[in-house]
Structure 1
Amino acid sequence: MSVTRLVTSGTFALDGGTWEVDNNVWLVGSDEEVVIVDAAHDAAAILSAVAGRRVAAIVCTHAHNDHINAAAEVAAATSAPILLHPADQVLWEMQYGPEVPYLPLKDGQVIDAGEVALTVLHTPGHAPGAVCLYAPELGVVFTGDTLFQGGPGATGRSHSSFETIIESIEDRLLTLPPETVVHTGHGDSTTIGAEAPHLAEWLARGH
């Protein structure tokens, strides 16, 4: 069982603004098979990191363009399905329109990634269809832009809600074992135990 991080760079665009960003692309699985979490920016780099293994699925933690803009190209190259929570349809269509298909994710679904099982946790707030992927055997959770080192993901743009993201983090993530490693969509990893004590600060800070 393995987890590999690839950092890719590009732009995030929403609400008329554009920002330069570095994204974490996670490859989870075995020597034979992997799941790609968030195919961001650079299809060639992602395919190089796959290194000939079978891609079981391309899972999108949410449909902001910087997390999905290489998904269609990677899917075409690997014949792997793209998985996304359908509540993010409006964001998906900003990047791809209705032409690029995906399979709908649902809360509680289990995705097999080689020797690793990923459980889908629907965690709306940063985006309506945001999900986290919990791998209890590895003691890790892939949080996309829901939870970072230092607090919740941004909720200042369209289709987001601070109250909703706090509820998602409190109910779905802070209930995980404190030693659970949090692999994020941008930046460094953290743990549930390191972030949990700061919930009151986040609430006071608000958005």
Structure 2
Amino acid sequence: MFGKVAADILGLSDVGSVIKPDNYDKVDADDYVMHEDNEKIYFLIKSKSDEYCFTNNALIHLDGTSATSKKRMLHRYSYVNNKISEVKLETAGTVDLDVEIKFKIGSQPFSIDVHKKHLEEVKDLYKALIKISEISRENETSLQYAKQSLEVASSTLGRVTSSDNNLVVQFKMLNQAAFQWLEDSKKQYSIKDFGYIFEKYINN
């Protein structure tokens, strides 16, 4: 019953609508946002059957047959473990009623139809996803460089001769240094929270 009322209030059809922040509490996806961990909704698209909720940490996709159905499949794709790529925006033609934003998150492709009256908002989402994709790609390259740098340093140190008495101590120190290097590099180049990107590009 609530699903039908919410659908009527939000004016939903099979083509998605961009939901305003004032109405986030009327959608099911809000129940699965980790507000306790300061997760926040930045963009939300809803149709009769699906909800696409973009937070600072993840894409939450509620997949259902209709807004009135009690059976929903919840998918959560964290940005840190599922890189965004292949972001595209297809604008509407003269007779088209919808625009389409396409992207991959991890290995999962998405193609979301949105009513063309929301084109300006979808452009903002497109910019944010493009930027997140670029940052993730650059950070992945930087992390690989950090790992290669560590391998070169380890190989060089491995050729240094030492007395048997110092081998255990040096191995322990090298192992601790290598672990810390990788830990620091991962923290630097594996971004979990992209709220600052959404705040820069989303203007709803």
Choose between structure 1 and 2: higher helix proportion. 2
Q: TM-score, with normalisation over the residues of structure 2?
A: 0.30
Q: TM-score, with normalisation over the residues of structure 1?
A: 0.30
Choose between structure 1 and 2: higher strand proportion. 1
